[in-house]
Structure 1
Amino acid sequence: MKLKKGYIMKELAGRYVVLPVGGEPEGFQGMIQMNVTGGFLWECLSEERTKQELIDLFLEKYDASREDAEADVNTFIENLSKAGILEV
């Protein structure tokens, strides 16, 4: 999976915000806010990655249990999928 084209992430006051570029794509409403770990995962998806690769990258970067990393990655993927931002 990877990010669809037409979206950018910006940091605003310690939060990360995803916005559409060049108009609002069909089905996308408003913006998506993320924390630092979401911002990290967003950057990881600038190229094709599997869910397992995201979990492994998360564990390399953050001091977390595998269970917590899997839960965070699953939530992240689910939120971006619902917003129509992921190519799977």
Structure 2
Amino acid sequence: MKIKKGFVLRQVCGENVIVGEGLGAINFGKMLALNETAAWLWQQAVAMDGFTIDTLAQKLCDEYEVSVDEAKTDVAAILDEWQNVGVVE
């Protein structure tokens, strides 16, 4: 899985939001607010050439005190949301 080109994480009024830039903005037309952990996961995903639930869950476990099962559940939920709004492929 990858972050689609044209989508970036920005700080808007103190909030972490994903916005479309260039062609990504044409079809997206909205902002997706992320909490601190989701924004951190977005940054990790951007830094990777490609990612899976397992690779992001491992990064989450390395950074935060969370079990592997909990990390996988949380990562799967956020990736499902990102897929539903069309910011990952």
Query: Could you say whether these structures have the same fold, taking a TM-score greater than 0.5 normalized by the shorter chain as the test?
Result: yes
After the TM superposition, which segments of 4 or more aligned residues of structure 1 sit over 6 Å from their partners?
Answer: none
- Bigger fraction of residues in helix: 2
The aligned counterpart of 1:21 is: 21
SS of the residue 1:16 aligns to: strand
Amino acid at match of 1:18: I
Shift of the 29–82 alpha-carbon distance from structure 1 to 2, 3 Å rule, reads farther
TM-score (norm 1): 0.85
CA RMSD in angstroms, aligned pairs only = 1.5
Instruction: Identify which of structures 1 and 2 has the higher relative contact order when contacts are C-alpha pairs closer than 8 Å and 6+ apart.
Output: 1
Amino acid at match of 2:32: I
- Bigger fraction of residues in strand: 1
SS of the residue 1:30 aligns to: coil
Q: How many residues align?
A: 85
How far does residue 17 in structure 1 lie from its aligned partner after superposition?
0.3
